Structure 1
Amino acid sequence: MPETPVLYVLNGPNLNLLGVREPHIYGRETLADVQALCEAAADGATVVFRQSNHEGELVDWIQEARTEASALVINPAAYSHTSVALLDALKALTIPVVECHLSNPAAREEFRRHSYVSLAATGIVSGFGAHSYELAVKAALRLARERSATPAR
């Protein structure tokens, strides 16, 4: 792991509409607000914060994180429930992966209760609105720092 940890925070489709789209579910914070929250929670780590509505671009960034990042936080949004491509890309990572959701998918529609991404995630944080990101960032970086402090066998 680099001396200063690098954390990728990837955001899936429609998250560019945070604050506008269904604020009763996702909150009034914008994606820029979430980015600022992540950067504040990163405690000196470098944060690479990205959003895309395109599955292939997210796959490219996950693959990039394989060699460039110490940990990954991902809010795959609707791709949670549909994307085997994201799952396969995540399975190639050896860094901590924390799946993050603003709402609690388990308390919503039946189709939202299954996440392919969860199969490759180290852990999941959901249901705390924008605060989910803060918790996910702290967890991912803690795991990354613990790994870097553990001697290789």
Structure 2
Amino acid sequence: MSSKPVFVLNGPNLNMLGQREREVYGALTLAEVETRCRAHAAALGLAVDFRQTNSEGDLISWIHEARDKASGIAINAGAYTHTSVALHDALKAAELPAVEVHLTNVHKREAFRHKSLIAPAVNGVICGFGADSYLLAISALSSLVTSNKKV
């Protein structure tokens, strides 16, 4: 097992999973997504530090913290994906393997969701697989961490 956990960071409104727009985001709660992430990561020899906030500043602080305390970052920045240069800059500064995650296929949704400001700062983007998007991101991070690839 890696000595440092993978940070799985969740942005605004993800605390409402399972309640908000179930036809779009699914029926699983964020707690259920977390349980699935922990089990999948453990099977890959990784630990997970799973967090959620509605505050952009908290996400930035957690990314800064990850630089020293994490082996990689999976981030579902929610709406901040499309608006935050600050998250982009924090991810670049972290100098860690990172994967952007979305439950839905953002390219099949409203046009404003098609542009990610954080995508250029991460190794890859996984979207459209529901809660499995998180598991795919953890698998990708496992590969990146093992090969010691940074952004």
Residues 12, 52 of structure 1: 8 Å contact kept: yes
Percent identity between matched residues is: 51
Using the alignment, how far apart are the partners of 1:50 and 1:117 within structure 2? 18
Return the letter of the residue paired with 1:50.
R
> What's the CA shift string for 1:81-127, capped at 9, x where partnerless?
01111011011022110000000111100000001110101001100
Q: Unmatched 5+ residue regions in structure 1?
A: 149-153
Using the alignment, how far apart are the partners of 1:92 and 1:49 within structure 2? 20
| Number of equivalenced pairs | 147
> Aligned residue for 2:12?
13
Residues 5, 141 of structure 1: 8 Å contact kept: no
SS of the residue corresponding to residue 94 of structure 2 reads coil
Q: Unmatched 5+ residue regions in structure 2?
A: none
> Aligned residue for 1:35?
34
Residues 8, 50 of structure 2: 8 Å contact kept: yes
Residues 4, 44 of structure 1: 8 Å contact kept: no
Alignment of 1:64-83 (within 5 A): 64-83=65-84
TM-score by length of 1: 0.92
Return the letter of the residue paired with 2:35.
A
Residues 2, 71 of structure 2: 8 Å contact kept: no
> Aligned residue for 1:144?
145
Cα–Cα, structure 1 residues 94 and 114, in superposed 2: closer, same or farther, change >3 Å? same
SS of the residue corresponding to residue 7 of structure 2 reads strand
1:5 Cα deviation from its structure 2 partner = 4.0
Q: Runs ≥4 in structure 1, deviation > 3 angstroms? A: none
SS of the residue corresponding to residue 45 of structure 2 reads coil
SS of the residue corresponding to residue 99 of structure 2 reads strand
